[in-house]
Structure 1
């Protein structure tokens, strides 16, 4: 493995782990705030127990997210010094504001965790809500910085010089809204289905049914609403990518030839050498409609883009297909769940629906990882789209492969530790907050 591939692999590994912790850190506090609100309004102790149990999970992921995020910040400077030399002064504002949001989140989380029976009940609830809001703002600001890499703005590039820097224009670049919206909704989908799936498994096993049923419903409603909205944010993102990064769109769809009424393809195996796609199912005109809102519009293919600016087609295409495919499965599950809530109450107690949610537990995070693969691999060979190539930004320091192997070991260890801590937390929940299915929780 050469140093360039090692540097990219290490960055991908770090981002792949951090995005999971970030999504949970952005979303779980809102679940916690809802259960806490129910506790304050109903005085049913089961909601207090849910809030306390979830708050411990929020604390675990806040700590791991802080560590992995700090590592990513250092890696930007150590692995990509040429990039940070020029880009740092331009998009530094969202990173500095993200630090402020993180600082507020840490304080609010401390208040919430240690504020039981010490603060006014509603102020205590408000501190938990601030944890979620600041975490969400933090995530959006980081995405804004990434969006700048896809849609550079806020400077003039003249003879290799970055002049007339405008940090506000850089932060609110053309891609920030579509990327932030898509990522935020994806975080709610991924976290919602993961949390709902864990509680569905506990219900299916007959453990702490009252506790897990109430927990499941909060998480499932968040997840299902977000899953239904996600295709709308995806459509906004697709149209934005078609306008700004036609090479990325062409790689996503393995669209080799510029043509009108371009088909949207389902599945398929791209053959980059022969510029064809085997075994795909074409939907005539749908790519034109997805990209431009017109079934007969022309969609630029890879044939209209210089060969040395082509993204890796196969990886980008497969990742896009995985993201969309899993998104459709989760949207189907969401519609089934809404039907169960409104028309088919008996389905809510059925094993098949619970098992469907258990099966969906990892789907959201797999889709998130696939989506980030599309975003990052689809931008190649650019680290700053159209301005700086990734190969020109990498550090000249040798031995990056050894650093990659070391970080792989660290992150695998971290994943195992977090998994063990969560497993222990679930076991403790069943021991500490045991509410029998036929027992009135208001007696506690």
Structure 2
């Protein structure tokens, strides 16, 4: 009996801790598992968006210049996109199951207030699934224009799906106009219900503030996926000196530079102003304004208002119970802004070389190896800033006042209190989550390795 107890305690370390400590770390473990799953799904979905677009662009170039290598490239990206869609869709089902299980009370809010974009997203997903199948199995069987249209419809489905999901995410960060949050007691489990004042106001989820968030996220997905692909082609070109690989980079790298500029200077600025008005507490956490009360910040004042004398409410103005984590400046300023600026700067300089039909210095070109990892870290920084920055609320509302009153539905109200995992179980779930990208990578290797007939894989 003693040996049995020891084995049990070794297998389940949570049993070695007092119950009150289990209640503290178990929800945290579950949140880490949930966040990891969402980030992996974000990567897979972004890669599908980017690669199906690359397939259509490559086929369009082939239709224009009749170079068979561009057709081979289009076919390769089509296969890659199919793999990302398959694994991404399967993994999305796993993530949705986790959301329903871990954040069970979120379903009530989704059903009462956020259902429209989710419902439309189902049709967008059907666009992806149906047209990617037609696209992949009709090479050289349809006219070029018809086949390109099929690919364009699959790409449209991918972007439209992201559009609706990001509409939900934007509403979770900043409650759209007309949304009312009501306290309720339904079965002792559901304590908050979110409803619109009138049925037509559900379309406010697509209001202009959300549009800034949506397009910012869609461009981020494109930059992430194209940066990963571009870093691979930089490596392939510098080790093989294939002119076709350089031709691909001449399209991708300047496009990344342009998208990054739009992302930072236009959409990023607009979204910063939106956060300033809708959630000044989140802004204080993001910018690292660690003071209490009003204080002038000349640099932020210049970017936000074009002056240097505007005062901002500091992070410590609000009670600790509603403050977002103090680590946000690292994810926002260092990862998202810092690495995003580095990606844009490198892509702009390199793209200028390539557009002038010149090759940049080898040492500079090799910095492109880090383009994909840097974009991945920048995306993680953006996702953590967006999702964690609104903590401890969703459907955040600024009620005004001095300082502004920030409220919403507490995250604790949508968490399933019956969920508890041991570290061993959390590790097992994370292993499954991380195995999916590994399986995807192996499938990509099989789908893109050089063929005996030669040509572009």
Provide Cα deviations, 1:231-285, integer angstroms capped at 9, x if missing partner. 12111111111111111111111102244431xxxxxxxxxxxxxxxxxxxxxx1
2:153 corresponds to: 130
* 1:347 has 2:381 as partner: no
Distance 2:244 2:105 in 1: 52
Residue from 171, 192, 206 that aligns with 1:172: 206
Distance 2:277 2:347 in 1: 31
Three-state SS of the structure 2 residue aligned to 1:384 is strand
Distance 2:314 2:207 in 1: 25
Is the 2:72–2:455 Cα contact (8 Å) retained in structure 1?
A: no
1:24 corresponds to: 47
Residue from 289, 304, 312 that aligns with 2:317: 304
Is the 2:181–2:409 Cα contact (8 Å) retained in structure 1?
A: no
1:327 corresponds to: 340
2:10 corresponds to: none
Is the 1:248–1:311 Cα contact (8 Å) retained in structure 2?
A: yes
Is the 1:3–1:400 Cα contact (8 Å) retained in structure 2?
A: yes
Q: Provide structure 1 residue ranges, at least 5 long, that are not aligned to the other structure.
A: 263-284, 436-444
Stretch deviating more after TM superposition (63-72 or 289-298): 289-298
Q: Provide structure 2 residue ranges, at least 5 long, that are not aligned to the other structure.
A: 1-21, 185-192, 397-406
Three-state SS of the structure 1 residue aligned to 2:417 is coil
TM (norm. structure 2) is 0.84
Three-state SS of the structure 1 residue aligned to 2:105 is helix
Three-state SS of the structure 2 residue aligned to 1:77 is helix
Is the 2:250–2:354 Cα contact (8 Å) retained in structure 1?
A: no
Distance 1:150 1:290 in 2: 22
* 1:273-284 to 2 correspondences below 5 Å: none
* 1:230 has 2:241 as partner: no
Three-state SS of the structure 1 residue aligned to 2:394 is strand
Distance 1:432 1:102 in 2: 35
Is the 1:312–1:378 Cα contact (8 Å) retained in structure 2?
A: yes
Provide Cα deviations, 1:125-145, integer angstroms capped at 9, x if missing partner. 111111111101111110110
* 1:101 has 2:124 as partner: yes
* 1:208-247 to 2 correspondences below 5 Å: 209-232=242-265, 233-247=267-281
Distance 1:432 1:108 in 2: 28
Distance 1:70 1:398 in 2: 19
Stretch deviating more after TM superposition (107-116 or 359-368): 359-368
1:37 corresponds to: 60
1:114 offset after TM fit, Å? 0.3
1:49 offset after TM fit, Å? 0.6
1:295 corresponds to: 308
Is the 1:151–1:174 Cα contact (8 Å) retained in structure 2?
A: no
* 1:374-393 to 2 correspondences below 5 Å: 374-385=385-396, 386-393=407-414
Q: How many residues align?
A: 408
TM (norm. structure 1) is 0.86
Distance 1:98 1:381 in 2: 27
* 1:44-443 to 2 correspondences below 5 Å: 44-153=67-176, 154-160=178-184, 161-163=193-195, 164=197, 166=199, 168-173=202-207, 175-206=209-240, 209-232=242-265, 233-257=267-291, 258-262=293-297, 285-314=298-327, 316-320=328-332, 321-343=334-356, 345-348=357-360, 350-385=361-396, 386-401=407-422, 404-428=426-450, 431-434=452-455
Distance 1:174 1:378 in 2: 21
Is the 1:319–1:374 Cα contact (8 Å) retained in structure 2?
A: yes
